[in-house]
A = this chain, B = another copy of it.
Amino acid sequence: MSAAEASLAGAAMVASFDRRERLQAMLDFEAALARAEARAGVIPADAADAIADKCDATLFDLDALDRQAAVAGLPTIPMTRMLTALVGGKAARWVHWGGTSQDVIDSAAMLQARAGFNLLIDDLREIGTACAELAEAHRATPMAGSTLLQQALPISFGLKAAQWLALTTRLLQRVTALRRDGLALQFGGAAGTLAALGAEDGLKVMALLAEELDLPAPDLPWQAQRDRIGEIAGGLGTVAGGMGKIAGDIILMMQTELGEVGEAPADGKGGSSTLPHKRNPVDALAAATAARLAIAQVPVLLNAMVQEHERAAGAWQAEWQALPELFRQTGTATAHLRQAVTGLQVDPDRMRANLEATGGQIMAEAAMMALAPMLGRLPAKDLVTRACRQAAAEGMDLKDVLAADPEVALALDAAALDRVFDPLAYLGAADTFINRALAAFRAATRA
């Protein structure tokens, strides 16, 4: 990975929600509206052509648009005025015909959301691919499984990667479902009745417009009924949370004292302005940071569902910033995590060393389960707990403490005790779980 590539993480999503793309999405709506109205016989066909011809964001003065929008309180007012001027002639009178700000802004947001979903899907597929490779490659790489940041049981690094993969696969499925089912054309006129076009023409244009924009036609306009936005917010927040989880694992495993993984190095990456030896997490950290910032927009959008009557005074307008920001930050999280897991450097030796650092205490459950059929679960647990404390206090291996216990000796011979303390023999169904995660990912990405 070159420095130039690294600098691009998240850049596609950010660009996809900048002011020019937003304007273009609104203009795409205006062009599609004109075409749909021409097909419905509401406006002349050549007017539609003339309008569509000028629906090109590069023809607009973005600074002037922003200034006038700030005064007007709505970007659509100067936008339709500028578009009308660009079109000129007789066609100009048909610009924004039967249109309203709500329809333009909401449908444009849906077009942008679709583009955003595509970028997320692309990243999630690549994250999945990288995790799948790690899962496959490290089936037999034992490491400490950790709960509450205490070593718990042995797992394999393959299983950890498979869990990341299973998570990523489900997130991929959710975003794919949102792209398919979560979008909808907004078209209702000023108060959601289509009164300006009349019922018959209005409904006809509604159907054709959905076709033109390739957006699902809703039963009703959804002016102030923002459950779709709420659902997108929840979905993206979940993606962000998932990215934060994987990123967090990487950051923790990269701790100097653990040293189990490292990010792929790149020129100028991960240094310090004063510490020459530093190899900081960069991409995992950027993903974790973006995940937090993404999630902060979710309650904004959910609270903004409380919209007054047929259009809100404040809540809708908050969406205009919160939804793009949610996409930008979520996309930044996926893009950086993609970089973090692609080419992740794994150190099986450090994993093994960490696993062995407690003198076998990590195998305590194995010992308990081996003793439980004879002693009962709780007595076995109590016996092993005492042995663990003795081992810790006397700096002994747990196996040696147990071997010296007469009750244990009755239940387990030396060979059995050896098996108890072999981490690779205590991975349970890890391999099956890895297989399942791989299969689910393949199925999800074949689709």
Contacts and interface: CB of A to CB of B under 8 A. Distances in A.
A275 B100 CA distance: 9
18 contacts: A3-B67, A6-B70, A73-B269, A74-B273, A93-B375, A93-B378, A148-B285, A152-B278, A193-B428, A193-B433, A194-B429, A227-B241, A231-B238, A233-B238, A271-B385, A274-B365, A286-B317, A289-B317
A288 B314 contact: yes
Contacts of A364: 275-277
A269 B388 CA distance: 15
A225 B428 contact: no
B292 A300 contact: yes
Contacts of A100: 272-274
Contacts of A230: 234, 237-238, 241-242
A162 B225 CA distance: 11
Nearest to A167: B225
Interface in A248-289: 248-249, 251-252, 254-258, 266-282, 285-286, 288-289
A170 B228 CA distance: 9
A376 interface: yes
Interface string A304-346: 1111111111110110011000000000000000000000000
Contact of A196 (B151, B222, B231, B274): B274
Contacts of A426: 193, 195
B225 A285 contact: no
A230 B195 CA distance: 40
